[in-house]
Amino acid sequence: MEAVVVAEEGPRSVIALENVSKNGVLNNRIQVSSSKKPVRFYVNLAKKIMNQHNEVVLSALGRAIGTVVSISEILKSDGWATEKKISTSTIESKAENKGRLIHKARLEILLGRGENFDDLVNGGKKEESSQEQTNLISEIQEN
């Protein structure tokens, strides 16, 4: 069974990961759509999955392939990920309105953590905590 990442955007961008297969093995696959979510959403989701599993598989069909390539390139250029494997294939599916078989291109990109992944994760937390300290000092000085 192939796992699907279910993600919901809300006021706080709550993300629910349902990625456990029948045999209990954790999966790290994101099936990308070309129109449902913005690219930045998938970039952030990939970072979270890499933080948990050390690697992520970006998968797309047809028109969503360009979106997967963009996500991958953003993660690589920012130092978050390195490319481990790219695989292409063609799948057959039935056309919704015509009932005939059509062929669709499929792309999967396996990304691993970049050399600076931990520094980037910790750097963001350090910046947040120093900002919190600055805010707290300002509040104390005002009172």
Domain spans, the chain:
29-115
3-state secondary structure of 15: coil
Which tokens hold the place of 112?
């691993």
pTM for the model stands at 0.68
- According to the CATH classification, is domain 29-115 in 3.30.110.20? yes
Residue percentage of the chain with pLDDT more than 70: 68
Strands 81-94 and 101-113: antiparallel
pLDDT digits (tens, 9 = 90+) for 96-119: 777 788 899 999 999 999 998 888
3-state secondary structure of 84: strand
Give residue 140's pLDDT. 58
Among the listed ranges 13-17, 79-83, 98-102, which one has the minimum average pLDDT value? 13-17
- Is residue 34 very low, low, confident or very high in pLDDT (cuts 50, 70, 90)? confident
What average pLDDT does the chain have?
77
Cα distances (angstroms) measured from residue 94 to each of 42, 63, 102, 104, 107: 27, 16, 6, 10, 19
Give residue 112's pLDDT. 94
Asked whether the predicted pLDDT for residue 66 surpasses 80, the reply is yes
Give residue 93's pLDDT. 84
Give residue 82's pLDDT. 94
Q: What's the N-to-C CA distance of the chain in angstroms?
A: 59
Give residue 138's pLDDT. 61
Please report, to the nearest 10 degrees, the dihedral formed by the alpha carbons of residues 15, 21, 23, 25 taken in order. Answer: -50
Return the number of other C-beta atoms located less than 10 Å from residue 60's C-beta: 24
Among the listed ranges 5-19, 57-71, 75-89, 111-125, which one has the minimum average pLDDT value? 5-19
Which tokens hold the place of 96?
């919704």
